[in-house]
């Protein structure tokens, strides 16, 4: 059995994650499972802890992030260069898009049960996205990245003092609504130059561009309905040339993945994407602020092993082929 490590963000999910961990801990002890647990103490700590765990010895290890997608993003970046590490996740945040996209139960106790079962066999390899910034620094993402309006909101929310205050009353999500409405009336759209696998595109009055490895984003919005983390492709969504009021309607339709039918929403698939503009737009990776454009985003197929109920795509294709009687 691989060594088992947990990296816990006790502040995730408005501080609810600490209580979630206490329950998980009881379960692990009752089942006499040996593990090591580390709590994050500040933003960026999960990445450091995960990197230290990964570098400790050459043993195969499971590193399970307990928190929200931000914690998972940090753990991913800490382990990505260590092929002997398998990534796991127990949802304890307020968004938890990773668990939606990678078929992990939303309930933490059920997620632990699934993790413990999946640990007994080899985990499937999943794709990840890699962002290379202008200064050549690199960041990985597993859900999605975005540039423009949505990244600005993510930045403002995460740097807002009001958020910490509202979190105390479990009202953290109100901060999103506040900044969304504020920026909806103030945000200046811009022209974006996009290159997808060498093909150039220009979009005027662009609100945002997202690049997805799995469908979900922003706490359950189906921004890229066709995205699959095993297809070796990234799904690109561009929202441009639409009024402030219509943007609000498009936002609502994203929860059902119906925004793709608006003519102002363009969808593409590709392996390597560059995003440029005359304006220094904010960029997020898995909802965390990572810098500004210009940048290159590319798919790293089969980048890491992930504890997920999704099976290998090839395996599913083979099963389907066999059940169709084709040999």
Ligand X SMILES: Nc1ncnc2c1ncn2[C@@H]1O[C@H](COP(=O)(O)OP(=O)(O)OP(=O)(O)O)[C@@H](O)[C@H]1O
In the complex, which residues of this chain contact ligand X (CB under 6 A)?
9, 11-13, 40-46, 67-71, 74, 93-95, 158, 172, 288
Residue 52's contacts (CB-CB under 8 Å, 6 or more residues apart) are: 78
Q: Residue 153 or residue 211: which is nearer to ligand X going by CB?
A: 153
CB-based contact 132:138 (threshold 8 Å):
yes
Q: Residue 13 or residue 148: which is nearer to ligand X going by CB?
A: 13
- CB 303 → ligand X: shortest distance, Å? 20
- CB 77 → ligand X: shortest distance, Å? 11
Strand pairing partners for 114?
Answer: none
Q: Residue 43 or residue 195: which is nearer to ligand X going by CB?
A: 43
- CB 214 → ligand X: shortest distance, Å? 16
- CB 13 → ligand X: shortest distance, Å? 4
- CB 180 → ligand X: shortest distance, Å? 14
CB-based contact 87:76 (threshold 8 Å):
yes
Q: Residue 216 or residue 268: which is nearer to ligand X going by CB?
A: 216
- CB 306 → ligand X: shortest distance, Å? 17
Distance (Å, whole) CA 270 – CA 253: 24
Closest residue by beta carbon to ligand X: 68
Q: Residue 128 or residue 233: which is nearer to ligand X going by CB?
A: 128
Sign for the CA dihedral angle at 254, 257, 261, 264 comes to positive
Q: Residue 178 or residue 312: which is nearer to ligand X going by CB?
A: 178
Strand pairing partners for 32?
Answer: none
Task: Name the strand (E) or helix (H) holding 23.
Answer: helix 16-30
């Amino acid at each position: 059995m691989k060594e088992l490590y947990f990296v816990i963000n006790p502040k995730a999910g408005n501080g609810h994650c600490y209580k979630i961990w206490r329950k998980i801990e009881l379960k692990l002890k009752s089942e006499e499972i040996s593990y090591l647990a580390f709590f994050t103490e500040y933003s960026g700590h999960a990445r450091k802890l995960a990197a230290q765990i990964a570098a400790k010895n050459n043993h195969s290890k499971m590193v399970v992030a307990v928190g929200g997608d931000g914690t998972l993003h940090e753990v991913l970046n800490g382990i990505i260069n260590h092929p002997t590490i398998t990534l796991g996740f127990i949802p304890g945040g307020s968004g938890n898009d990773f668990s939606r996209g990678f078929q992990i139960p939303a309930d933490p106790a059920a997620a632990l049960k699934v993790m413990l079962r999946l640990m007994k066999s080899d985990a499937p390899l999943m794709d990840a996205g890699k962002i290379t910034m202008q200064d050549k620094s690199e960041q990985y993402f597993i859900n999605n990245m975005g540039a423009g309006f949505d990244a600005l909101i993510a930045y403002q929310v995460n740097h807002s003092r009001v958020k910490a205050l509202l979190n105390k009353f479990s009202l953290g999500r109100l901060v999103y609504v506040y900044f969304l409405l504020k920026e909806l009336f103030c945000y200046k759209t811009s022209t974006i130059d996009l290159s997808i696998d060498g093909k150039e595109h220009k979009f005027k009055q662009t609100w945002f561009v997202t690049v997805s490895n799995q469908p979900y984003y922003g706490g359950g919005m189906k921004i890229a309905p066709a995205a699959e983390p095993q297809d070796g492709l990234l799904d690109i969504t561009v929202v441009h040339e639409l009024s402030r009021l219509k943007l609000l309607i498009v936002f609502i339709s994203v929860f059902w993945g119906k925004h793709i039918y608006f003519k102002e929403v363009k969808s593409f698939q590709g392996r390597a994407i560059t995003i440029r503009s005359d304006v220094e737009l904010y960029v997020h990776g898995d909802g965390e602020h990572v810098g500004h454009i210009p940048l290159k985003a590319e798919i790293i197929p089969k980048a890491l092993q992930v504890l997920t109920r999704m099976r290998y795509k090839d395996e599913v294709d083979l099963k389907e082929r066999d059940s169709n009687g084709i040999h």
